[in-house]
Amino acid sequence: MGPGFKYHVATIAAIFFALTVGLVVGSLTVSPHLVNTYKGALKGLQSTLNTDINEKSVQISHYQKLLDQVMPLALSHRLKGQGVAVIQLGDSSSALQAVQTVLAMSDAKEVETISISSSLDVSDSQLQVTLDNLTQDGNVLPDSRNALVSAIAHGVIDGGNPSDGVISELDKAGILHVENDSYLGKPLHDIVIVGGSRGDHPDRFSEVDMPLILAFQSLGARIVMCESLNARVSDIQQYEDAGVDVATIDDVDTRMGQFSLVYSLLGEKDDYGVKSTAHALMPSVTPDISTAGSR
């Protein structure tokens, strides 16, 4: 629904409210004939508003059907040959599902999905206790936060043994979770971070997101961060405040956001979407990008 329509509805609603107030106040001192005139005007405005809403709803439904038909054609083969690691740091299942759907639609070659446990979203001293306890249980694991995020980054970027490599060991230890055995141990250089949360996690950005991003960037990864349009807690402002040099998408659970994700993985970099943190609605489609294939 475009901004113009929203302003149109808001204007009519304001008029409607003003007339209602006038009707209540005026009925105390004004003649019944004038009150009836107000009532007629209110009914007319209500009818106009309902008609406009119904017409716009039908239009939006038609546009959505068009997008559903065109999107697979527009994105088919765009990521053919590219391997992508999806790292979920937030707790939005709708954002994760949207990312997985559009990566399949655009024919990404290999897609790994790894969710990072909330056990990392703690202070260094608390994390150290967890790592020490896991080491006492016979696991050979990194012994600090920096070593841990570095191991995760290397496991994704460089690849490794999917059965007994570091990613597998961290999965067994509960530090992370590999969805549907998607970790194949092959090198991947494109990273999609799925953020946004249903609740407040004030330290997660500094304790989890930032260390992981720096570790990935030190290995030359391309990173795109995204979240759902209706995420109750948006993470993008923290990314902007910290000057993190990654593309962000604040509406990845919409068709427009999914389009932005694919073209960000092809090299476009900005803050895309509709929230106040966005700098552009979506990437510009240029001839170079529209014909891009594997890197």
State pLDDT tens for residues 199-214. Answer: 888 889 999 999 999 9
On average, the pLDDT of the chain sits at: 85
Q: Beta 222-226 vs 110-116: how paired, if at all? A: unpaired
The residues near 269 (Cβ < 8 Å, ≥ 6 apart) are 245, 246, 247
**Residue linked to tokens 């956001």:** 257
Percent pLDDT > 90 in the chain is 53
Length of the chain: 295
Distances (CA, A) of 136 to 130, 163, 164, 177, 290: 10, 22, 19, 21, 53
Neighbours of 223 (CB within 10 A): 23
Measure the CA–CA gap between 23 and 245, rounded to whole angstroms. Answer: 56
State pLDDT tens for residues 143-162. Answer: 889 999 999 999 999 999 99
Measure the CA–CA gap between 17 and 11, rounded to whole angstroms. Answer: 10
Query: Model confidence at 66, in pLDDT bands (50, 70, 90)?
Result: confident
State pLDDT tens for residues 87-139. Answer: 999 998 999 999 999 999 999 999 999 999 988 888 889 988 888 887 776 66
> Are 107 and 78 within 8 A, CB to CB?
yes
Cα angle at 187 between 176 and 249, to 5 degrees? 65
Q: What DSSP state is assigned to residue 198?
A: S
Measure the CA–CA gap between 218 and 212, rounded to whole angstroms. Answer: 10
